[in-house]
Amino acid sequence: MAVGRLRLKQRGYDFPPYRPPSEAYSLLLRVTRGCPWNKCLFCSMYKGIPFERRSLEEIKGDIEAAAHLYGEMARWAFIGDSNSLVVKTDLLLEILRYLYESFPHLERVTSYARAKTIAKKDLNELKELRRAGLVRLHVGLETGDAKTLNFIKKGATPEEMIEGGLKAKEAGFELSLYILLGIGGQQRWREHADGTGEVLNKIDPHFIRVRTLIPQPGSALFEMKNKGEFILPPPDLILEEERRIIASLEVTSQFLSDHISNYLPLNGKMPQDKNALLHSLDQELLRLRQDPSLLERYRRKELLRHL
């Protein structure tokens, strides 16, 4: 559904500022504002937004405004901002009930969530949310390397990532895990790749989605990069890193590189497409060795903003 932002804005509708690429056609509903953690070194998304929970009245007002315009059209909905599961379960259940009631053709509702929040939430409450129509959780793993997770202040260990991921699956959610190529820097790219492969193998999420680190102004990592305290791996090393992760995978996930930050689009079902994915990466690495101007073109992605 192409949601007419302008017409909703005119009605005072409050949009979440970020959503996953796969939610491009979803109705976007803001349940909280900002990120309750807001400490990750690489993240600038919610830096100027104090965290707050929106009132049920405000949220229902937005649902009613959207239903008035798109009630018969909406099939998918995404609730933001960064970690909607921090909201009390009863309130989330009421929001889900109202969403499905207001949009009679709604098929799925999805949300961002932190692995640690999932790990802390009661399993029966998670199951209730799943039954109420919260279908998929988008979770930032970034890396499975303990030292890198600690360095980037992700606020979760590999063990907590695994606990949260497995619990989400046990509750019946589709789980989409995001990994961040380059986040180990030049120094820990191998450890980052190996740790990430290990955690992914233990969780076996439904989707593995790849993004490439492009430090953004406003993030601590951007400053560190400018001072030479963090060295971003060059594009060929990033592709080597991605190859190393895929080579280590023993999962049944859909593997997707579908974000504008990435050097090579990939989409394959594991394990049957593993060799094809590796072959695509080998071909791209060969092209890079044969054509240095390609490396320069790739480097221009470092200028991308508002990711």
Measure the CA–CA gap between 253 and 210, rounded to whole angstroms: 13
Structural element, H or E, at residue 256: strand 254-257
Q: Does 82 bind ligand SF4 (CB under 6 A)?
A: yes
Q: Amino acid identity, residue 55?
A: S
Per rule CB under 6 A, is residue 35 in the interface with ligand SF4?
yes
Residues 62-81 that bind ligand SF4 (CB under 6 A): none
277: three-class secondary structure by DSSP: helix
Quick check: 211 binds ligand SF4 (CB under 6 A)? no
Residues touching ligand SF4: how many (CB under 6 A)?
11
CB 56 within 8 A of CB 85: no
Q: How many residues does the chain have?
A: 307
Among 19, 26, 33, 46, binds ligand SF4 (CB under 6 A): 46
Least Cβ distance, residue 82 to ligand SF4 (angstroms): 4
Asked if 235 and 243 count as a contact pair (C-beta separation under 8 A), the reply is no
**Using the rule CB under 6 A, is 213 a contact of ligand SF4?**
no
Which residue from 8, 14, 37, 67 is in contact with ligand SF4, where contact means CB under 6 A?
37
Q: Does 280 bind ligand SF4 (CB under 6 A)?
A: no
Residue with Cβ nearer ligand SF4 (116 or 243): 116
38 counts as binding ligand SF4 under rule CB under 6 A? yes
Q: Segment near ligand SF4 (CB under 6 A), from 32-40, 53-61, 103-111, 186-194?
A: 32-40
* DSSP state letters, 195-244: HHHHHHHHH--SEEEEEE----TTSHHHHHHHTTSS-PPPHHHHHHHHHH
Closest C-alpha to 154, from 110, 128, 184: 184
Q: What are the angstrom distances between the C-alpha of 254 and each of 53, 194, 244?
A: 33, 19, 17
Selected binder of ligand SF4 within 114, 116, 121, 192 (CB under 6 A)? 114
**Which is nearer to ligand SF4, 102 or 219 (by Cβ)?**
219
Is 32 a residue that touches ligand SF4 (CB under 6 A)? no
13 binds ligand SF4 (CB under 6 A): no
The site for ligand SF4 (CB under 6 A) is made up of 35, 37-40, 43, 45-46, 82, 114, 140
